[in-house]
Structure 1
Amino acid sequence: MHRFIAFNDEKADTLLMLELTDLAKTLTKSALYEAEIRAHSYLSKREQKVFVSHFWNHRPDWIKKSGMKSDVYLRALGNMNFTDFQDVELFRDIISASLIPRFAGQLFILAEDLRIEELCKKERPGMAFEFKVRRKIYKEYFESQLVVNLERNLFIDALFNLIYLSLNSDSPILTMPSFNSEIDEGIPLIRSELENFYDTQSTQVVADACLKIVERVGQLVNTDMINDYYHLPGQEQNLLDVMSYSDLLRKDSLQNDDTTEEKAGGDEQVHEEEMRTWHRETESPGKSFMQFNLDQGTRTDIAGGSEREGEEGDQALGIVQGRSVQTDKKEYDGMELTSMGELDASNGKNKYGTSNKNARSVFLKAGRPDKEALAEYGKLEKEVKFYHKKLKNIIQRVMEKKETDHRSHLQMGQLGKNLLPFFTDENPKLFYKKAEPSKEIDASFILLVDCSASMFDKMEETRRGIILFHEALKSVDVPHEIIGFWEDANESAEDDQPNYFFQVIPFSMSLQHKTGPEIMELEAMEDNRDGYAIRIAAERLLERKEKQKFLIIFSDGEPAAYDYNNGIVDTHEAVMEVRQKGIEIFNIFLSTSGLEFEQKKVFETIYGNRSIIAPYVEELPNVLFPLLKKILTNSINM
């Protein structure tokens, strides 16, 4: 089986992927569908994803965006509504016996795309521009591929390129290159068969037209195609996903094989009724259905399709009897209705994001620090002591100023003793207010530390920054929590991805004098599933009573975990969700080798202007000090 490699090290444009996902949801009329980049574009109902091709990468932004949108149009609108996947599977079975199955499969997808493209433009004329860009770029690409394949004597690949150019030519006159004598003689017949594609009205007709061309080409070549330009989706991707009532009916026979001797008189009334077991509110089928299996019985010749009244004798044929009695179990008439969040979860969604539906959280607690950890902590604390003492002094001065400020000469409040301005001033201000006590900092923090393997050479400097945060917040009595997070790559599987949250310093201990050396237990571990970790941390912050809530993430790179290909998009969505709940979220980007443009772009895309860059970890205290100063002083002034 020919398969393309799913791994792709391209930097995703998060905002574009969110736009494509929204477009996929709209066109499929399902909130469960997402867009994702793969080697080729196709629709997968089973995964509920619209895959766009990375063919469009490394092109001008307007071409890239138009090309990827055209992929979504073809899959989410075209394939979803106009392609019969049972005919696709039948065609796939037929070509499995062909000598050129790869050529046949790609030809079929090419022809089907051309057919549904016209249907898409007819239904939504606004799509015409993107399809025009698509044809132009593909035409230029196949022209270059035709030359390359002819030079390499890959005649069947070159023939496929020529077929595309023939079907998409703006002129009836197309210059025919020379292959070999046998193929050159067969090309006119192939071009005449191609004209049938313009009259195809269904997937089945497309398949029939393709089989005729495959038969002719099979007589001219001895090898199959090497290049992959299109992907033919199989049964595992697009069949057996949307089940109907008839799919649930039993197909196996009864245990006995006898027939009633009494013949039908023709005046019987038979009642048949289909009971639908789901509707649009339960779009994803569950694991169980209401069923009644009849294993024994006698066949009759009574025809269905009509109704008859029940008789007393009918009950004797029943194998299950029951009666209604008062139950001693819990009654449900007084229970609250299921929340929309629970409905979403049962419908395939997940409150932690669809990309994290199989992730689970495992919380760990720090042990008692040993002498080595105490000594190392004391050393690092001395290095950042200047910063947190300076910060504490700034905070105290701001708080003292608010406490001692005398507020007089007001237009309302308590009447002052000096009434002379009433006679001398045109607008006298005779009132004052008592000095208010200083406000405490009504805020809480969670410091979320990426403990992925790539943090190995940055963890020591990261601990210095965490110590600065901890000591500064502790000195001004601001509750906080420090959590390291990672995903265990060795334990992860398709249906279970354990994510560990190491509570180095919990809220309950954050203000205790002796806390801090536990920070030295932070170590580089495995993968990082950032979107999931952010949502878990946000849940903990929302339980706090403080008015202001801050989530600070220390990280050195992009999300990377098991089956987390769209980690950048998921993390961006998590950041947006958290900010909508009133939590301020910042990212501290760490590096030991300087900052690359692509890295900066990714982090700014995910976190916006709340991504703070420390191009070298040695500069971390200098970066964190102004951030802490701004956050805490703003909290006091609120």
Structure 2
Amino acid sequence: MTKVNRFIQFNDEMVDVNQMLLYERIGRALSDAPFLELTERKLMEIRPAEGGISMSVYWRHRPDHIMHGGRLSDIYLLTAGFWRHFSVPEWVSYRLSYRTHPLRKFAEELLLLIEEFRLIDATIKERAGTEEAFQIRKEVMLRFHKDHFTINYQKGFVADALLNMMYISLNEGMHTSIPKEWSYGPGTIPLPIDHIHTALSFAYDAKSTKDSRLVAERIIALLEEQLEEDLLHQYYAIGDALNEKIIPFHYHEGMKDAESGEGEVKETIEEVFRSFHRENKSESGVHLEFELEHGRSGKGDGSNAVEGHEDAQIEEMGKGSSKGDQSEKRSDEERDAKKGNNSQLHADQSFGPEHLNVVYEERAIQIKDEYENKKKIIAWRENQKPFVRSFVDEMKKRIEQKREEKREGLVKGRLSSKLTTMMIDERPRPFYRKNIPSTQLDAVFGLLVDGSASMADKLDETKQAVLLFHDVLRELQIQHEITSYYEDANYATKESQPNVFELMHTFADRNKDDSLSIMSFDANEDNRDGFAIRWMTKRLLTRQEQHKFLLVFSDGEPSAFGYAQNGVLDTREAVVEAEKLGVTVIHLFLSAEETTVEQRAVFTMMFGNKSAASDSVEQFTDQILRILRKTLSIVINQ
């Protein structure tokens, strides 16, 4: 779970997850798509198959107001501009018409450049509050294109320089300081700059993608005989995922009108996203081992029918699973195999898009080394006994003090001995009531223990801390559950990521001593923190107690198959979701060394201000008592 200390850390830059969540919420609100996911990539992108969009990393390492405004402009452009006002059929048709053209990349990027200009203007008119972010975008991008125009012009990258020139001309007007006598190659063929500007000026009147396409086609017609090389660099990636495979859309389930064709064309990016979202929601996951590209629910034409005859031999036998069929009992191996298959559960949409291919298993931890562990338990409990006793006594005294308090100045209840209020006050309140809360605290705890391989060097200290947690809550008769979690990296693939929850102590065990289960905890492989937090949150929400606490013991950042990049953000989302549902999430960083500033910053991103760290393994138990003292004080005082 902890990071590997490499000689050189490439792209080891952490994002501000709270800011990313803010941008994601803005994008979801503007697009009215609660399923939309946001990431950061080299260029702006839309990814319908993944249900996500990406803002550009170009805005990083700039002053805060420019970085914030630039990122907002990306989101505005994607979710308020291209989302509903960009014609997907027109774009696909345009790409197909230039598929074999020698200036294919130039043609595609030119149309997107014109569309960006049109959609920024349309978005500002529709939403005036976006103008400030777009103004920042315009100033920064103008500097970018002016700088690159000079470089490309000097190096002879004519197509790139032309694209830079057209961006500058659109945003600054056609009378810019672009060389009018611009010749290509040895200088014998002057480029028609004036004609290009004339054709480009029609972009100011464009009202649709079709209008922008006509402008782009006119410019390509002026240049296709004179340009010999296509674009060298890429400036836009918005249309990369929109191709002929999107239209017609391939349905994977039977359609109502099966004989009427593939269905109507998706006109906008919004429709494409929602179609993919519906299909993914109903068909994603490892439970589908195959896919039907052209399934039909209409009548069969009988072309594959084979005439039967009475001499036909039975080639294959099948056995049903009906409960009524008791003619033949299955073997023990079959029953065991079926039981094993049922023990694996598939993650659904509620666990988040990062975990759609996760299969997980909940099982009781296997007791091992019973004799040796019993000796350790006796020794550890003897050392911890003074701490447990003093802590429990402290909590009981606080509960008793709370019981003895009384509320005075009431209009009904027990009559107070201070009756002077009846003579002095106009509206006397001489009654009181004693607070007699239940001696049992109205709280429940869930403890998740990171079971990744990096925990191997601190297993004994972690077990002591968990044992202390278990003993204190048992003494106070507080319901709790203790579970380790890990992902089996040896069998993790793109289609399936097996996760395991090893139950050390469950709510059903109530006050049972499960110290041997705690001692059997061991380090395994990877960890998927966001998934584990959502899993434990679901279990805590089934409890009736008012105060619900979820503790996470881990030793670093989440790391699992395909999860390293988005693990921090997904964990933060899981924590925010749990807090909204009334579950307080607290993190304890288990480290054998002093915590660095960077590590504390990462934990704060994931868990907010409810993250504690121990500078050495000896402090684990102290931190446990401190956390329990704070949480139980909240319960007692309310």
Residue 93 of structure 2 corresponds to residue 90 of structure 1: yes
Residue 571 of structure 2 corresponds to residue 571 of structure 1: yes
Once residues 383 and 177 of structure 1 are traced to their aligned partners in structure 2, the CA distance between those partners, rounded to angstroms, is: 87
The offset of 1:48, in angstroms, is 2.7
The offset of 1:607, in angstroms, is 2.8
Once residues 115 and 29 of structure 2 are traced to their aligned partners in structure 1, the CA distance between those partners, rounded to angstroms, is: 22
Alignment of 1:106-255 (within 5 A): 106-149=109-152, 156-169=159-172, 172-176=175-179, 182=185, 188-190=191-193, 192-200=195-203, 201=206, 202-211=208-217, 213-214=219-220, 223-231=229-237, 232-235=239-242, 239-241=247-249, 248-250=258-260
Once residues 502 and 348 of structure 2 are traced to their aligned partners in structure 1, the CA distance between those partners, rounded to angstroms, is: 27
The offset of 1:120, in angstroms, is 1.9
| 8 Å Cα contact 1:100-1:225 kept in structure 2 | yes
Q: Select the residue among 277, 281, 284 that pairs with 2:278.
A: 284
Once residues 97 and 635 of structure 1 are traced to their aligned partners in structure 2, the CA distance between those partners, rounded to angstroms, is: 70
| 8 Å Cα contact 1:43-1:79 kept in structure 2 | no
Q: 1:169 to 1:409 in 2, by over 3 A?
A: closer
Once residues 380 and 169 of structure 1 are traced to their aligned partners in structure 2, the CA distance between those partners, rounded to angstroms, is: 75
Q: 1:217 to 1:387 in 2, by over 3 A?
A: farther
Q: 1:597 to 1:195 in 2, by over 3 A?
A: farther
Once residues 437 and 51 of structure 1 are traced to their aligned partners in structure 2, the CA distance between those partners, rounded to angstroms, is: 53
3-state DSSP of counterpart to 2:439: coil
Q: 1:79 to 1:562 in 2, by over 3 A?
A: farther
Q: 1:392 to 1:535 in 2, by over 3 A?
A: same
The offset of 1:550, in angstroms, is 1.1
Q: Select the residue among 77, 92, 97 that pairs with 1:74.
A: 77
- For residues 570-594 of structure 1, what are the alpha-carbon distances to aligned partners after superposition, in whole Å with 9 as ceiling and x for unaligned? 4333323322332222122344554
Residue 471 of structure 2 corresponds to residue 465 of structure 1: no
The offset of 1:18, in angstroms, is 2.6
Q: 1:475 to 1:226 in 2, by over 3 A?
A: farther
Residue 538 of structure 2 corresponds to residue 539 of structure 1: yes
Q: Select the residue among 30, 33, 46 that pairs with 2:36.
A: 33
In structure 2, what is the equivalent of residue 359 of structure 1?
Answer: 358
In structure 2, what is the equivalent of residue 626 of structure 1?
Answer: 626
3-state DSSP of counterpart to 1:470: helix
Q: 1:56 to 1:541 in 2, by over 3 A?
A: same
Q: Percent identity?
A: 28
Once residues 454 and 631 of structure 1 are traced to their aligned partners in structure 2, the CA distance between those partners, rounded to angstroms, is: 28
In structure 1, what is the equivalent of residue 551 of structure 2?
Answer: 552
The offset of 1:136, in angstroms, is 1.0
Q: Which amino acid aligns with 2:556?
A: G
Where structure 1 has 5 or more consecutive residues not aligned to the other structure, the ranges are 1-6, 253-279, 297-347
Q: 1:623 to 1:178 in 2, by over 3 A?
A: farther
Q: 1:452 to 1:409 in 2, by over 3 A?
A: closer
Q: 1:111 to 1:553 in 2, by over 3 A?
A: same
Alignment of 1:50-61 (within 5 A): 50-61=53-64
Once residues 587 and 118 of structure 1 are traced to their aligned partners in structure 2, the CA distance between those partners, rounded to angstroms, is: 46
Once residues 407 and 69 of structure 2 are traced to their aligned partners in structure 1, the CA distance between those partners, rounded to angstroms, is: 64
In structure 1, what is the equivalent of residue 603 of structure 2?
Answer: 603
| 8 Å Cα contact 2:165-2:178 kept in structure 1 | no
The offset of 1:51, in angstroms, is 1.9
3-state DSSP of counterpart to 2:349: coil
Q: 1:620 to 1:181 in 2, by over 3 A?
A: same
- For residues 411-452 of structure 1, what are the alpha-carbon distances to aligned partners after superposition, in whole Å with 9 as ceiling and x for unaligned? 875579xx8988999799998878958712232211112223
| 8 Å Cα contact 2:452-2:526 kept in structure 1 | yes
Q: Which amino acid aligns with 1:397?
A: K
In structure 2, what is the equivalent of residue 369 of structure 1?
Answer: 368
Q: 1:380 to 1:47 in 2, by over 3 A?
A: same
The offset of 1:465, in angstroms, is 2.7
In structure 1, what is the equivalent of residue 337 of structure 2?
Answer: none
3-state DSSP of counterpart to 1:551: strand
Once residues 438 and 9 of structure 1 are traced to their aligned partners in structure 2, the CA distance between those partners, rounded to angstroms, is: 51
Once residues 381 and 148 of structure 1 are traced to their aligned partners in structure 2, the CA distance between those partners, rounded to angstroms, is: 72
Once residues 463 and 234 of structure 1 are traced to their aligned partners in structure 2, the CA distance between those partners, rounded to angstroms, is: 49
3-state DSSP of counterpart to 2:46: strand
The offset of 1:500, in angstroms, is 1.7
Q: 1:382 to 1:154 in 2, by over 3 A?
A: farther
In structure 1, what is the equivalent of residue 582 of structure 2?
Answer: 582
Once residues 407 and 98 of structure 2 are traced to their aligned partners in structure 1, the CA distance between those partners, rounded to angstroms, is: 91
Alignment of 1:495-534 (within 5 A): 495-509=495-509, 511-513=511-513, 515-534=514-533
Once residues 154 and 590 of structure 1 are traced to their aligned partners in structure 2, the CA distance between those partners, rounded to angstroms, is: 55
Q: 1:634 to 1:81 in 2, by over 3 A?
A: closer
Once residues 378 and 212 of structure 1 are traced to their aligned partners in structure 2, the CA distance between those partners, rounded to angstroms, is: 86
3-state DSSP of counterpart to 1:361: strand
Once residues 45 and 197 of structure 2 are traced to their aligned partners in structure 1, the CA distance between those partners, rounded to angstroms, is: 23
Once residues 69 and 250 of structure 2 are traced to their aligned partners in structure 1, the CA distance between those partners, rounded to angstroms, is: 30
| 8 Å Cα contact 1:11-1:598 kept in structure 2 | no
| 8 Å Cα contact 2:183-2:189 kept in structure 1 | no
In structure 2, what is the equivalent of residue 449 of structure 1?
Answer: 449
Once residues 466 and 56 of structure 2 are traced to their aligned partners in structure 1, the CA distance between those partners, rounded to angstroms, is: 41
3-state DSSP of counterpart to 1:609: coil
Q: Which amino acid aligns with 1:531?
A: G
Once residues 381 and 561 of structure 2 are traced to their aligned partners in structure 1, the CA distance between those partners, rounded to angstroms, is: 37
3-state DSSP of counterpart to 2:449: strand
Alignment of 1:472-511 (within 5 A): 472-509=472-509, 511=511
3-state DSSP of counterpart to 2:172: coil
Task: Select the structure of larger CA radius of gyration.
Answer: 1
* Pairwise CA RMSD: 4.3
The offset of 1:95, in angstroms, is 3.3
Q: Which amino acid aligns with 2:52?
A: K
| 8 Å Cα contact 1:421-1:429 kept in structure 2 | no
In structure 1, what is the equivalent of residue 289 of structure 2?
Answer: none
Bigger mean CA offset, 625-634 vs 486-495: 486-495
The offset of 1:184, in angstroms, is 6.2
The offset of 1:545, in angstroms, is 3.3
In structure 1, what is the equivalent of residue 27 of structure 2?
Answer: 24
Bigger mean CA offset, 205-214 vs 105-114: 205-214
The offset of 1:71, in angstroms, is 1.5
Q: Which amino acid aligns with 2:541?
A: L
Bigger mean CA offset, 440-449 vs 430-439: 430-439
| 8 Å Cα contact 1:541-1:549 kept in structure 2 | yes
Once residues 281 and 238 of structure 1 are traced to their aligned partners in structure 2, the CA distance between those partners, rounded to angstroms, is: 10
Q: 1:218 to 1:631 in 2, by over 3 A?
A: same
Q: Which amino acid aligns with 1:452?
A: S
The offset of 1:537, in angstroms, is 0.7
| 8 Å Cα contact 1:359-1:496 kept in structure 2 | yes
The offset of 1:13, in angstroms, is 2.6
| 8 Å Cα contact 2:357-2:495 kept in structure 1 | yes
Once residues 531 and 106 of structure 2 are traced to their aligned partners in structure 1, the CA distance between those partners, rounded to angstroms, is: 42
Once residues 208 and 242 of structure 1 are traced to their aligned partners in structure 2, the CA distance between those partners, rounded to angstroms, is: 29
The offset of 1:483, in angstroms, is 0.9
Bigger mean CA offset, 546-555 vs 94-103: 94-103
- For residues 49-100 of structure 1, what are the alpha-carbon distances to aligned partners after superposition, in whole Å with 9 as ceiling and x for unaligned? 2221121222223222221221122222222222222222233233332334
| 8 Å Cα contact 2:159-2:230 kept in structure 1 | yes
3-state DSSP of counterpart to 2:503: strand
In structure 2, what is the equivalent of residue 327 of structure 1?
Answer: none
The offset of 1:462, in angstroms, is 3.2
